[in-house]
């Protein structure tokens, strides 16, 4: 959800050490968008997730869903 001003953020998403989304998040004020799904192979029992500055604004994530594939 963009809650500061229009087109303020660009973020990178790193999952298990791999960038899976680059410069996402630029959108109008008050709107939200779904990004993903992103697949990750978790081998150590811990999901490593980083939301990084993609060059603009402060990174922010408003929700997260995690599913285990059979």
Residue (of 47, 44, 51, 42) closest to 19 by Cα position:
51
pLDDT digits (tens, 9 = 90+) for 15-67: 999 999 999 999 999 999 999 999 999 999 999 999 999 999 999 888 899 99
Residue (of 32, 33, 25, 22) closest to 7 by Cα position:
25
Specify the pTM.
0.85
């Amino acid at each position: 959800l963009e809650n500061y001003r229009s087109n303020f953020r660009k973020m990178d998403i790193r999952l298990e050490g791999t960038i899976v989304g680059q410069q996402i998040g630029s959108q109008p004020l008050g709107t939200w968008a779904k990004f993903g799904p992103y697949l990750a192979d978790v081998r150590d029992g811990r999901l490593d997730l980083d939301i990084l500055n993609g060059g603009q604004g402060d990174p922010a994530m408003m929700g997260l869903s995690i599913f285990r594939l059979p």
